[in-house]
Amino acid sequence: MFAPEKDVQSYIHFGLYALQHRGQESAGISISDGSDIKTKKKMGLVSEVFQGDTLENLSGYNAIGHVRYSTEGDSSVTNAQPLTITCKLGKISIVHNGNLKNAKGLRKRLEEEGTIFQTTTDSEILAHLLAKSSYNNIIDGLKEVASMMKGGYTFLLMTTDRLIAFRDAHGFRPLSLGKVDGGYVLSSETCAFDTIGAEYVRDISPGEMVVIDKQGITSTTLLEPKDPSLCIFEYIYFARPDSNLIGKNVHLVRKELGKELAKESNITADIVSGVPDSSLSAASGVAEALNLPYEMGLIKNRYIGRTFIKPNQEMRELGVQVKLNPVNATVFGKRIILVDDSIVRGTTITNIIKTLRDAGAKEVHILISSPPVKFPCYYGIDTSSCGELIASKLNVEEIRTEIGADSLQFLSIQGMVRAVERVPGLNENTGYCLACFNGEYPVTEED
Amino acid sequence: MFAPEKDVQSYIHFGLYALQHRGQESAGISISDGSDIKTKKKMGLVSEVFQGDTLENLSGYNAIGHVRYSTEGDSSVTNAQPLTITCKLGKISIVHNGNLKNAKGLRKRLEEEGTIFQTTTDSEILAHLLAKSSYNNIIDGLKEVASMMKGGYTFLLMTTDRLIAFRDAHGFRPLSLGKVDGGYVLSSETCAFDTIGAEYVRDISPGEMVVIDKQGITSTTLLEPKDPSLCIFEYIYFARPDSNLIGKNVHLVRKELGKELAKESNITADIVSGVPDSSLSAASGVAEALNLPYEMGLIKNRYIGRTFIKPNQEMRELGVQVKLNPVNATVFGKRIILVDDSIVRGTTITNIIKTLRDAGAKEVHILISSPPVKFPCYYGIDTSSCGELIASKLNVEEIRTEIGADSLQFLSIQGMVRAVERVPGLNENTGYCLACFNGEYPVTEED
Amino acid sequence: MFAPEKDVQSYIHFGLYALQHRGQESAGISISDGSDIKTKKKMGLVSEVFQGDTLENLSGYNAIGHVRYSTEGDSSVTNAQPLTITCKLGKISIVHNGNLKNAKGLRKRLEEEGTIFQTTTDSEILAHLLAKSSYNNIIDGLKEVASMMKGGYTFLLMTTDRLIAFRDAHGFRPLSLGKVDGGYVLSSETCAFDTIGAEYVRDISPGEMVVIDKQGITSTTLLEPKDPSLCIFEYIYFARPDSNLIGKNVHLVRKELGKELAKESNITADIVSGVPDSSLSAASGVAEALNLPYEMGLIKNRYIGRTFIKPNQEMRELGVQVKLNPVNATVFGKRIILVDDSIVRGTTITNIIKTLRDAGAKEVHILISSPPVKFPCYYGIDTSSCGELIASKLNVEEIRTEIGADSLQFLSIQGMVRAVERVPGLNENTGYCLACFNGEYPVTEED
Amino acid sequence: MFAPEKDVQSYIHFGLYALQHRGQESAGISISDGSDIKTKKKMGLVSEVFQGDTLENLSGYNAIGHVRYSTEGDSSVTNAQPLTITCKLGKISIVHNGNLKNAKGLRKRLEEEGTIFQTTTDSEILAHLLAKSSYNNIIDGLKEVASMMKGGYTFLLMTTDRLIAFRDAHGFRPLSLGKVDGGYVLSSETCAFDTIGAEYVRDISPGEMVVIDKQGITSTTLLEPKDPSLCIFEYIYFARPDSNLIGKNVHLVRKELGKELAKESNITADIVSGVPDSSLSAASGVAEALNLPYEMGLIKNRYIGRTFIKPNQEMRELGVQVKLNPVNATVFGKRIILVDDSIVRGTTITNIIKTLRDAGAKEVHILISSPPVKFPCYYGIDTSSCGELIASKLNVEEIRTEIGADSLQFLSIQGMVRAVERVPGLNENTGYCLACFNGEYPVTEED
């Protein structure tokens, strides 16, 4: 966020609350008053990282913030963002969303050239590339090195007096531009704009770079745009329901996914429920289309913190389940249609089905508001969770048996795209990355 | 919880997670291994109070736990429960839910008799009464003093080797009995039983006392039962949707309240939404009855902790709102029916209506799934929040103007009772306390 | 502290730093602005309890503070002081130093009368006695109940607008009065006066009560003074070297103890060292009297916090010792006189002697600047540590063998008293409690 | 520390306690079990950084640790050590003590070559140099780059299975080698060896590199040794009294400094005192040489933590002083010789003199056990504190007036060296760096 007449610290802080669902492992803010960049980052939720006096010492008109997704391997403050470095281009802070597909190759090459790595983040790769560019200004440097980075990503960089953002050539990961009084703000999701009272302006285009400073905003084509390929999983699972991506509202898309799913299905049941929270919109779409009662079949405990000590195996066998409880009265004796957004490994849904049966459900029919996830993602979704994709090993009937459902139906790829396209948006010719469903990856190593 | 063959610590701990919605200010556990009672309590959520090593030193087969509701005046660890005391009856730990109507009078009398108070809790009043009883055993002591305590309450007491529970003569506040392998568990809400794998047995009757020890469970009539008067607000707002009170499921009751509300109303609109989370069940009932789309019109931020630093007035005027955001795409250009469970002071709903209008709602019609709250509660609901009851000063049309709604409709008292009675339960002749709606208080000072 | 023109919060806070050596388990402050008393207390050092925002909400002109000594049994925040209660006399906060000898009997009697105890502190006993007195004002109440309390103690009480202090009839535990601009301050040790810039006025007399309010200070004889019996261990070990008790400086007394000890001894050695920190003054007195070099033979680690995880037995056997290290170069090949203030259980000195021998000391001669502690203390010193008094079981030669010293000499009782009396003071006819040395207890149960 | 048969975690942990006086800002440990290096570091004391579960996940046979000195500019966890990086040589952890004199030049050159910096530490400079060396193994790499680094430093590096240490060519900063059962340990001070039960072997020589792995220890000359120039300030102020540097004990050196100082002085006084803690050894030397009583004139509060909120100016004027108190009884009416180790800015000693006068001291004579510090240090002492050297602006008489002493005497340079040389050691031909006193810097930029 860049707004010369404001102290942007509170805006960034509240904006991170709005984006907290995108990452709960660590949070950080870099902020500049025009003369120096200060960075604070720590493990934990935004509410844990920025307490009382932590924010006191942060003020300025130019800032970036980040919440990090908890992946297995590298859970430490070292990898928390923003990454702030000093190099021949001065002091720079960097955050990113997404993944470099060729990160491994770039790291190897850089290491061979004598580079040291202190983190395992892609932001550090960009920092090295920039510092080694043949230019002595950051804009030209970015132009030189951007094409070396393959994959699906958005980057935000700040110097003491400039804010820079760019998006990969396919536009895999979302990035929107908003306006506040006297300045601009960039965010992965538009819900952050609503939270801080900013006005949505437009999405950053694939391959576009914007530079914001006291002179205003300028736009450049950093990378020749390729076929637009917005990650469709943002609609299905990642984004907050009140966000809009290329103008299409996430809740409305999910509801259409539910309606389309109902159309493709021919299940008879007594009630429809969704797995909270991400599947509730789709479930209400299914209920509406099938004209069945939409019920609260499961309830999620809102008070389970990051440090929650889970029940052990023995206690779970004795029926202890703290995170998700069935609403027995709703479920008992009923034929239930349970809507979930996706099946990745299949363990969660297996537990839920068992829970519902224990609570007396007569039949449990699973409707999934996306197609089977068969292929790993190279553009920003945690690949560790894609490592054991149940749908890459089993067919639908085998999955049904494995998870213990009375029936199981996935939305078709065509149905999914149809549903998304039905919702009005701003950029009707945008395509979607469907690689995790159909294996057609828009980016190749040689790309 | 009393279970001689188990270490009940984890069960109590997980059970408190399930009851966290009833109080977020402080949490505590008292536990006995048969020889001594240990008590741990602290300000904060269950997840904050019981971390790592805190639980290590707590183990035993007999325990009680508590989560405390945040009221303005006495927010300090001194008032956290359980209260553990030593007296001629030995070491006793006490927790309670609800309020003594005659607390002030009892405290005054006790102080005049030379008693000191270290807290402002009703548990301490019971402790003093017990210690001053003419008996040297706790059961006879309770029989002697129970009738001195007027109001709506449930108490749990434990000695090193006994667990005792009782409920006021009207049964204002809920209390249920569950069974675990080799033992028993008591809880204000049945959702705690589901969480820890306990089986629901029955509700404790108004005026009933149960005593659990290694010999088993015994039941006594401690107070002559009066007209049963379960607090109907438990259904409307307090309880978790998956809990059952006298066998009636809270979610189903709320849905019926919504349906009844729809019947009494004659609004035309495009969509129906509820204020998350407690009004979602009622809202889906309204939508179903009116055959209108049930939409997510508002979204609640799940990551706002206890220590959240709220936006200041200036920022709020600039549109900063972190807790509750409208789903613009759902709301824009729509005639919306917004369902809320109750109006107490009216400030929250006023903000929400403004928010929806700013998001482009064409019309905002407010349906409240309970009647106007006109009278303060003396039996356990925070009276400070009842101090400025908007409905005791203004009529419905005046409230509508005040909150800025296009229309406003409350559920009728008869409709509310009809809806609750429609849901199947276990004890069909139970009556309800409606005092906050109609001013008819079941308990008088002389009672 | 009472000072109507000041916010006394910082003074109390800094004063507690000066008294921290008297107790490291918990700390607390009660403060009143004339209308209400607020109390904050927590486990931990003053620096841990009062951080940033904790102090913000505490302000007023009347306050008491406390640091609690860590005893084994009851280490919990429940016992932290001040104790704040409400009774027929209003709101009262109480702290105390010392012990009631008849606490057990008083508790038993009070419990039989129907009293509950929430702590195991003597302050709570006084609170109950006061609340049960036949008077409705605190001064008359104190006069009535003071004589019921046997033992060695000082109490400070505050109401919203008065500060009251009294000392037992023998004056076992110290209590001094100081003056600040526009007000008064009371402290167990005068070092707190120096810390906050207060001027020492006088010691509170045995049996005296002072009452401070906006009208000034008044003095009353609360208890008929008995033979003055100041705990001589305050000089030997407890007090800070810069404090004066009845005008006698602690450092100077310790130095005289050392000189007296040197006189009674006839050891030849190369150097003199003291066990840090409490024995350094005595050691320098020994060195001076014997005209031997005063050397640093041991060094104490200053950074060992409350939560220090001690080396386990195996590591200790491998030579790991973090708290106290020998200065090898000083000790190697030397005949060393090591001065310690007292021997209670004998474990610490045994380890130290072994350490010095491992470091190459040729001879280790132990001089103790007090007589053998043979009898438990009932007036304020942790009796748990007196439970296993090595000198009550073994004679000096046996102790010498047990601890592994080349020689061992205790100061004689007469020598000790002589040394103390040699230092100039204010109240030359004061006697001392020598009960832990000679078993002559100034207070009896019937007293 | 490297010890294949041990879990070295506790040793490193306890060793850091022994070195805590060298830095209180942050602490960290890197440890390897042979397969991977784990690093934990945080702001705070050792006792704050390594609590309970933090140590649980650290175990291995090869480890390095660090405590960081609090300098003004860069107080953040980013600069905490060890620094752990990945490069073509694999994973490496680095700590250092001291300063590179040519750090600025090296950073500039490296930045121009396209390097990024994430910290402002010299360890990061070494990491970059190593990664860019023309060798693919760390030993040859070090040989290549060591000569690029000018200044006074010691470095410890570890890979997963090797521990490497080296010292600059002049040996400015100390580094000793110790032996434990089955392994070796390196430390800036020998007091850490005593703490963990290790046996002192020898000092690492100037310019020497040692490599420790499962095959044992090997020594190499990394840099051609120059004139040995141990920082004499280590004796005067930095080191713990029980440490030995090149075999000379710090306490004994300080005592000799005091004796020499007495010899050079001709003051008459009643008592001698030292400023605690670092000047106590010298003060006892002065007292002994002058045959005057050695008294405790000042007492230091041991409980002032890192987060201590200092009294504000107004309170200080009212006499509030928490850190250091005069022992009034010792000082009152006395002519006092106060010994301090050095005068840098002069503010502390000015306050102390005022304090002693307020406490009634008749005369205050200041003896400084080192010469006037006139020149900034480039080899490891915080240069920010050398920025405003009072002795570079004023002569002795002017300083005396400024600080308000009755007389002021510094030790002569010759006297200081004489005193140090008088104490027996291991390496009699070692010279000392006296640059801060005489401006003769052993290292030049071109060196």
Task: Provide the b/e sequence for C377-408 (b: ≥16 CB within 10 Å).
Answer: bbbbbeeeebeebbbeebeeeebbebbbbbbb
For chains A and D, what is the number of CB pairs under 8 angstroms? 60
Give residue A384's pLDDT. Answer: 47
Q: Give the DSSP letter of residue C411.
A: P
Same domain, B203 and B314: no
Same domain, C361 and C323: yes
Give residue D220's pLDDT. Answer: 96
For residue B39, give how far its alpha carbon lies from the nearest alpha carbon of chain D (Å).
Answer: 22
Interface list for chain B against chain C, based on CB atoms closer than 8 Å:
39, 77-78, 83-88, 111-112, 114-118, 124, 127-128, 131-133
| Ranges B59-63, B256-260, C257-261: which has the least confidence | B59-63
Q: For residue B10, which residues of chain A lie inside 8 Å, CB to CB? A: 311, 315, 320
Which two structure tokens, joined as six digits, stand for B366?
Answer: 């407010």
Where residue C404 sits, what CATH number does that domain have? 3.40.50.2020
Tell me, yes or no, whether D170 lies in a domain: yes
- Is D47–C319 a contact, with Cβ atoms under 8 angstroms apart? no
- Is D85–A116 a contact, with Cβ atoms under 8 angstroms apart? yes
Interface list for chain C against chain B, based on CB atoms closer than 8 Å:
39, 77-78, 83-88, 111-112, 114-118, 124, 127-128, 131-133
Give residue A112's pLDDT. Answer: 96
In this predicted structure, the answer to whether residue B70 has a pLDDT above a threshold of 70 is no
Q: What is the rounded average pLDDT of the residues B365-387?
A: 79
Give residue D72's pLDDT. Answer: 44
Element housing A325 (H / E): strand A324-326
How much is the pTM?
A: 0.91
Give residue B74's pLDDT. Answer: 58
pLDDT digits over A39-78, tens only?
Answer: 999 888 898 888 766 677 789 999 999 998 865 445 678 8
Pick from B312, B398, B402: which is nearest to B353 by CA?
Answer: B402
Same domain, D195 and D274: no
Q: What is the rounded average pLDDT of the residues D348-358?
A: 94
Q: For C291-396, list the strands marked E by DSSP.
A: 298-300, 324-326, 335-340, 363-368
- Is C303–D20 a contact, with Cβ atoms under 8 angstroms apart? yes
- Indicate the residue type of C320: V
Q: What is the rounded average pLDDT of the residues B139-148?
A: 95
Query: pLDDT-derived band of residue D378, with 50, 70 and 90 as boundaries?
Result: confident
Which two structure tokens, joined as six digits, stand for C121?
Answer: 């502190």
Q: What is the rounded average pLDDT of the residues B143-168?
A: 95
Of B18, B315, B320, the CB nearest to A301: B18
Tell me, yes or no, whether B236 lies in a domain: no
Same domain, A58 and A16: yes
3-class DSSP string for chain D: CECCCCCCHHHHHHHHHHHHHHCCCEEEEEEECCCCEEEEEEECCHHHHCCCHHHHCCCCCEEEEEEECCCCCCCCHHHCCCEEEEECCEEEEEEEEEEECCHHHHHHHHHHCCCCECCCCHHHHHHHHHHCCCCCCHHHHHHHHHHHCCEEEEEEEECCCCEEEEECCCCCCCCEEEEECCEEEEECCCHHHHHHCCEEEEECCCCEEEEEECCEEEEEECCCCCCCCEECHHHHHHCCCCCEECCEEHHHHHHHHHHHHHHHCCCCCCEEEECCCCCHHHHHHHHHHHCCCECCCEEECCCCCCCCCCCCHHHHHCCCCCCEEECHHHHCCCEEEEEECCCCCCHHHHHHHHHHHHCCCCEEEEEECCCCCCCCCCCCCCHHHHCCCHHHHCCHHHHHHHHCCCEEEECCHHHHHHHHHHCCCCCCCCCEECHHHHCCCCCCCCC
- Is B325–A242 a contact, with Cβ atoms under 8 angstroms apart? yes
Task: Provide the b/e sequence for C349-362 (b: ≥16 CB within 10 Å).
Answer: bbbbbebbbebebe
Tell me, yes or no, whether D447 lies in a domain: no
- Is D315–C10 a contact, with Cβ atoms under 8 angstroms apart? yes
Give residue D160's pLDDT. Answer: 95
Give residue D36's pLDDT. Answer: 94
**Is A340 one of the annotated binding-site residues?**
yes
Give residue B57's pLDDT. Answer: 77
Closest chain D CA to residue A82:
D118
pLDDT digits over A361-380, tens only?
Answer: 999 999 999 999 999 887 66
Considering C198, C226, C254, which residue would you say is the last residue of a domain?
C226
Report phi then psi at B407, rounded to 5. Answer: -150, 160
Tell me, yes or no, whether B430 lies in a domain: no
Same domain, C250 and C217: no
Considering B226, B261, B287, which residue would you say is the last residue of a domain?
B226
In this prediction, the residues of chain A whose per-residue pLDDT falls under 70 are 52-54, 70-75, 306-307, 379-387, 428, 444-447
Query: pLDDT-derived band of residue D74, with 50, 70 and 90 as boundaries?
Result: low
Q: For residue D84, which residues of chain A lie inside 8 Å, CB to CB? A: 78, 118
Same domain, B95 and B32: yes
| Rounded distance between C-alpha atoms, residue D196 and residue D2, angstroms | 13
pLDDT digits over B80-138, tens only?
Answer: 999 999 999 999 999 999 989 899 999 999 999 999 999 999 999 999 999 999 999 99
Give residue A73's pLDDT. Answer: 46
Same domain, D205 and D340: no
Query: pLDDT-derived band of residue B380, with 50, 70 and 90 as boundaries?
Result: low
The burial of D329, by beta-carbon neighbours within 10 Å (0-12 exposed, 13-18 middle, 19 or more buried), is given as buried
Give residue A48's pLDDT. Answer: 86
pLDDT digits over A386-418, tens only?
Answer: 567 899 899 999 999 999 999 999 999 999 999
Same domain, C147 and C283: no
The chain-wide mean pLDDT, for chain B, equals 91
Chains touching B (at least 3 CB pairs under 8 A) are: A, C, D
Q: Which residues pair with C15 in a beta bridge?
A: none
Same domain, B90 and B29: yes
Report phi then psi at D63, rounded to 5. Answer: -155, 155
Task: Provide the b/e sequence for A8-40 (b: ≥16 CB within 10 Å).
Answer: bbbbbbbbbbbbbbbbbbbbbbbbbbeeebbbb
**Is C342 one of the annotated binding-site residues?**
no
Report phi then psi at D372, rounded to 5. Answer: -60, 135
pLDDT digits over C84-128, tens only?
Answer: 999 999 999 999 999 898 999 999 999 999 999 999 999 999 999
Q: For residue A115, which residues of chain D lie inside 8 Å, CB to CB? A: 87, 115, 131
The chain-wide mean pLDDT, for chain C, equals 91
Where residue C187 sits, what CATH number does that domain have? 3.60.20.10
Considering D226, D254, D273, which residue would you say is the last residue of a domain?
D226
Give residue C380's pLDDT. Answer: 63
Same domain, C81 and C211: yes
Tell me, yes or no, whether A233 lies in a domain: no
Same domain, D149 and D278: no
pLDDT digits over C37-68, tens only?
Answer: 999 998 888 988 887 666 777 899 999 999 98
- Please tell me the total count of domains within chain A: 2
Q: What is the rounded average pLDDT of the residues D326-346?
A: 94
The radius of gyration computed from the CA coordinates of chain C, to the nearest angstrom, equals 23
Give residue D73's pLDDT. Answer: 46
The chain-wide mean pLDDT, for chain D, equals 91
| Rounded distance between C-alpha atoms, residue D350 and residue D231, angstroms | 27
Q: What is the rounded average pLDDT of the residues C310-324?
A: 82
Tell me, yes or no, whether A329 lies in a domain: yes
Report phi then psi at B371, rounded to 5. Answer: -75, 170
pLDDT digits over D242-274, tens only?
Answer: 999 999 999 999 999 999 999 999 899 999 999
> A102 is in which domain, residue-wise?
9-226
Coil/strand/helix, residue A4: coil
Instruction: Provide, rounded to the nearest whole percent, the portion of chain B with pLDDT above 70.
Output: 94
Q: Taking a C-beta distance cutoff of 8 angstroms, is the pair C34, C62 a contact?
A: yes
pLDDT digits over D121-177, tens only?
Answer: 999 999 999 999 999 999 999 999 999 999 899 999 999 999 999 999 999 999 999
Selection from A264-268, C398-402, D23-27 with the highest mean pLDDT: C398-402
Nearest 5°: the CA angle D188, D191, D192 is 70
- Between B75 and B194, where is the model more confident? B194
Interface test with A, best of B194, B294, B420 (most A CBs within 10 A): B194
Give residue D358's pLDDT. Answer: 93
Chains touching A (at least 3 CB pairs under 8 A) are: B, C, D
Tell me, yes or no, whether B442 lies in a domain: no
**Cα-Cα-Cα-Cα dihedral sign, residues D38, D27, A30, D74:** negative
Of C24, C302, C320, the CB nearest to D195: C320
- Is A294–B303 a contact, with Cβ atoms under 8 angstroms apart? no
- Is C131–B111 a contact, with Cβ atoms under 8 angstroms apart? yes
Tell me, yes or no, whether D43 lies in a domain: yes
pLDDT digits over D388-420, tens only?
Answer: 789 989 999 999 999 999 999 999 999 999 999
Same domain, A220 and A274: no
Pick from C200, C199, C174: which is nearest to C188 by CA?
Answer: C174
Q: For residue C84, which residues of chain B lie inside 8 Å, CB to CB? A: 78, 118
Contacts of C200 (CB under 8 A, 6+ apart): C176, C177, C178, C190, C193, C244
Give residue C313's pLDDT. Answer: 80
For residue D261, give how far its alpha carbon lies from the nearest alpha carbon of chain A (Å).
Answer: 47
